[in-house]
Each structure stands twice: as C-alpha cells, then as structure tokens.
Structure 1
Amino acid sequence: MNLDQISFFRLASDRLEWLSSRQKVIAENIANGDTPGYRARDVAPFESYVQAVSQATDSGAAAAEPFGSAVPVATVDAPDSWSGDLSGNTVVLEQQTVKAGETAVQYRLAANLYRKANELLSLAATGK
C-alpha cells in the first residue's frame, strides 16, 4: 500500500517537509546574526506550500518525487522581525530561538500524528 496516496499521510509528510525547511532557514538566520545588512528570513506560510504541492501534483511535475519533495519551500523576508541594529541586520537571536523551539514542538507533533495514524492503519489492516 502506498501511504502517500492517502491524503492524511500526504499532508503530514508535507508538514514535516515544511517544518524541516523552516528549521533550516532559522539556523541560517542564527548563523548570520552578526553579518552586516543581513535580513532575517522565514518560510512562506504552510498553506501556500500545500497549494504549490497540489498544483505541482495536478500538473504532473511532482509525480516522480514522493511526498511532494520536488516542490521547494519558498522563503520570504521575516515580516515580524522584532528589531534591527545599526548595521542593517534584522536577526534577533532571542526571536530566532523562540521560533526554533516552536518549530521543534510542531515537528514532534506532526511526527507523532503520522506515527499514530500509521499504527491505526496497521491495526485496521491486521486486526492486531
């Protein structure tokens, strides 16, 4: 059985992919915390990622790639940056740490939901 054909598994997988990309962008922000002129970045909202994956799947572009991995997660300038410094850098390490923590919690939640759904499907299929 191909689990990526079941919409819940597809959505959970897309969410994990998006959260992974967000954590990468946050890490890049932290790494560039002292770079003059660096603008803090974030990923586009999850809804826009789901729409992009859906459009790519409908057009057949992502058919060869499982779980929508052919669609990159778009990044944008962080609209909610707390402040900037005189060098033009808008990275606030405290804010990035909060975002990293939130992303980690969301990732654990999505992974646990995926695991539980898989266990439920296995239980339904095997009766054990």
Structure 2
Amino acid sequence: MTGIYLFDLAARHARYLAVRQAAIAGNVANANTQGYRARDVAPFAQVLARTGLDLAVTASAHVETAGTGIPVRPVPAREGWDVLETASAVSLEQEMLKASDVSRDHALNVGVVKSFHHMLMSAVRSGG
C-alpha cells in the first residue's frame, strides 16, 4: 500500500486552479476580440485521473480520483449559457461564475492544507 500525499495533491490542485484562473482571465480579456473562442481547462477529476492514483472507495458517496496534466480545451458553443450578441463567444457572466468557483475551491484547498499542517505539527509536538 502506498501513502496518500495530501500536500502533493493540494499542490497539484493549486496549480490546476492557477491554470484555470489564467484561462478565465484570458477569456475576459478577449471578450471583445472578434473570432475569439472561450477556453476552459478539463475538470480536475479528469486531470487527477491521469496521475494513476488509486484510492479505495468504501462507500458509494466517496470520490474516485486519479490524474495530473492540465489540458486547455475550447468550450463547445452549446456548453453553458447562450452567448450575448458580441463579436466573440465569451459570456462574461459565465466567466465570472467560473472565477468565483476557482476562488471557492482555492479557499477550500488552503483550509484543508492548514488543517492538515496543524494536525501534523500537533502530532510532532506531542511526540507521536
């Protein structure tokens, strides 16, 4: 059995969130660029699936994971909301919702890492 490296997983998730935020920022910056197509990254579950990590699922509500690499893909025209009548295929409302998702996920990631770090430091201080 191999160990689960929470800090490594959190670091991969943080890198994923940084790439996703950059893609969202690029979409917003190019919202008025004629012919520009909105971009997004693959969901983190797909990214994690490529890492080859196998976690045991003991209940149907548990998440199955694996993956790393963060491919950027164009957003299909029918995915998401209708596009406003502009020269581009970027919905600013949808991009802002994605940005808030990234912010929420980042806050959760930081909270988990802080809690795990605190738990490790408590174990080290108590000697075991």
**Into which bin does the TM-score normalised by the smaller protein fall?**
0.7 to 0.9
Residue 113 of structure 1 aligns with an amino acid whose one-letter code is V
Shift of 1:83: 2.3
Higher helix share: 1
Shift of 1:81: 3.5
The aligned residue for residue 8 of structure 1 is 6
Shift of 1:20: 1.1
| Structure 2 contact 24–98 (Cα < 8 Å) conserved | yes
Tell me the percent identity.
Answer: 31
Query: Counterparts of 1:39-118 in structure 2 under 5 Å?
Result: 39-54=37-52, 72-79=69-76, 80-84=79-83, 85=85, 87=87, 89-118=88-117
Residue 110 of structure 1 aligns with an amino acid whose one-letter code is N
Please point out which of 15, 34, 37 is paired with 2:35: 37
> Which TM-score applies when normalising by structure 1?
0.74
Higher RCO, 1 vs 2 (CA within 8 Å, ≥6 residues apart):
1
Task: Measure, in 1, the Cα distance between the counterparts of 2:111 and 2:86.
Answer: 43
Shift of 1:121: 0.7
Q: Secondary structure at the match of 2:34?
A: coil
Number of equivalences:
108
The aligned residue for residue 61 of structure 2 is none
Q: Which moved more, 1:107-116 or 1:7-16?
A: 7-16
Task: Measure, in 2, the Cα distance between the counterparts of 1:32 and 1:114.
Answer: 34
What are the ranges of 5 or more consecutive residues in structure 1 without an aligned counterpart? 56-70
| Structure 2 contact 32–86 (Cα < 8 Å) conserved | no
What are the ranges of 5 or more consecutive residues in structure 2 without an aligned counterpart? 54-67
Task: Measure, in 1, the Cα distance between the counterparts of 2:114 and 2:4.
Answer: 14
> Which TM-score applies when normalising by structure 2?
0.74
| 1:19 to 1:76, Cα distance in 2 relative to 1, 3 A | same
